[in-house]
Structure 1
Amino acid sequence: MLSFFTGFTVGLSLIVAIGAQNIWVLSQSMAGANRLVIAAVCILCDAALIVTGVYSVQLIQQWLPPLVPVLTWAGVAMLSWLAFGAAQRAWQGQGALLANSRVQVHSWQKTALTALAITLLNPHVYLDTVVLIGSVGSAQSEPFCFTLGACLASLCWFSALTGLAPKLKVWLSSPLRWRLFDALVALVLTGIALKLAV
């Protein structure tokens, strides 16, 4: 359960932080533009990248054991940097997720292709899911449970973002709520970084 909870919290913290993708998803969902298609594409892409990250690092552990400490400390450094960024945003209070109210609705095929492009052409997605989640997940006692938790975080986030878009627009546009969320993210990521370092 600890690996599952770690996967869920790390996954949620990183997925929520990918701003451009979330703004697009929220804007499209507010317009009622193929919400099920958008959620499915984002969730499946995240799941594929998370599984690839965790198990590719495990293969590296088997083939090149000397790289394991390097990957572990790289994960600690990245988690610490992300925690610092979240703490800085919480202190400054500049965070908010603002959706575009003027959105053109396209066919589900075009929406799916756009969702794929926004997800897979964003370098932060690979850095967060493959590199960071992969390095943290491979260090867990139960990598499968960690992977399951991280994938569930993506499922919960994008299901909520697409399904509850009208209500979330008000909630996510509040700088105060984002300050609280960023403070929580900073604490969680710092705790996981310390655990990984030990």
Structure 2
Amino acid sequence: MPLVSLIPPSLFAGFGLGFSLILAIGAQNAFVLRQGLRQQHVFWVCLACAGSDALLIAAGVLGFGTLAQALPWFETVMRFGGAAFLIWYGARSLRAAWIGGEALEAEVGKAEQLLLPVLTTVLALTWLNPHVYLDTVVLLGSISAQYPDPLVFGVGAIISSFTFFFSLGYGASLLAPIFARPRAWQLLDVFVGLTMWAIAHKLLLM
């Protein structure tokens, strides 16, 4: 009997849906990509993202998707707090693009960022984004209830998150030769900044 036939279908379903939900480029993914290109604190950044997803997915599967209904103000607070943070971070990225010179840092010794500010930023990008609660706690949580083994579905979604973030973080180094040029870093910073502002705009219009 093939080994794949022994894997519960719920695991594949959770993996597929979880992967599709985090595949789109967003604020969190753009930050992971940037850290991967800088090759700084990649493991901890990927672990923070995947670990956060794991906690949220587990909360959804275990039935905590009713939090927003129990606390009507929760979604509003998270939405405006997240938008404010994204506006600030987007402005910072656009300022970095305007100043330029990032490739020199990346190539020569890579001025080391402190771990705590990096983790604070990635956790803020994760936990201050209301969409992450909709995707993980509410959507994945409600869909998992349709399967006879919702916990297995949740495990599949968690595996997809670890697979995605570590692939993105460590796979970014393959793009390093492109980002040896200052112009490429400037374009990345513009992309990151505009992505942050676009998401903030969506949050404010919800």
Q: TM-score band (shorter)?
A: 0.5 to 0.7
CA contact (8 A) 1:161 1:168 kept: no
What is aligned with 1:40? 47
Are residue 125 (structure 1) and residue 132 (structure 2) matched?
Answer: yes
Distance 1:50 1:18, change over 3 A: farther
What is aligned with 2:84? none
What is aligned with 1:144? 151
Are residue 29 (structure 1) and residue 47 (structure 2) matched?
Answer: no
Task: Tell me by how many angstroms 1:139 deviates.
Answer: 1.3
Task: Tell me by how many angstroms 1:166 deviates.
Answer: 2.5
- In structure 2, stretches of 5+ residues that fail to align are 1-7, 67-96, 178-206
* 1:168-183 mapped onto 2 (5 Å cutoff): none
Task: Tell me by how many angstroms 1:17 deviates.
Answer: 2.3
Distance 1:144 1:14, change over 3 A: same
Task: Tell me by how many angstroms 1:33 deviates.
Answer: 1.9
* 1:1-198 mapped onto 2 (5 Å cutoff): 1-17=8-24, 19-56=26-63, 102=102, 105-167=112-174
Bigger mean CA deviation after superposition, 104-113 or 35-44: 104-113
CA contact (8 A) 1:26 1:169 kept: no
Partners in 2 of 1:169 and 1:123 — Cα distance? 32
Partners in 1 of 2:42 and 2:143 — Cα distance? 31
Partners in 1 of 2:41 and 2:173 — Cα distance? 15
CA contact (8 A) 2:12 2:153 kept: yes
Partners in 2 of 1:169 and 1:133 — Cα distance? 35
Distance 1:164 1:142, change over 3 A: same
Distance 1:135 1:105, change over 3 A: farther
Q: What is the count of residue pairs matched by the alignment? A: 130
CA contact (8 A) 2:39 2:173 kept: no
Task: Tell me by how many angstroms 1:167 deviates.
Answer: 2.5
Largest Rg, 1 or 2: 2
- In structure 1, stretches of 5+ residues that fail to align are 61-99, 171-198
CA contact (8 A) 1:45 1:119 kept: yes
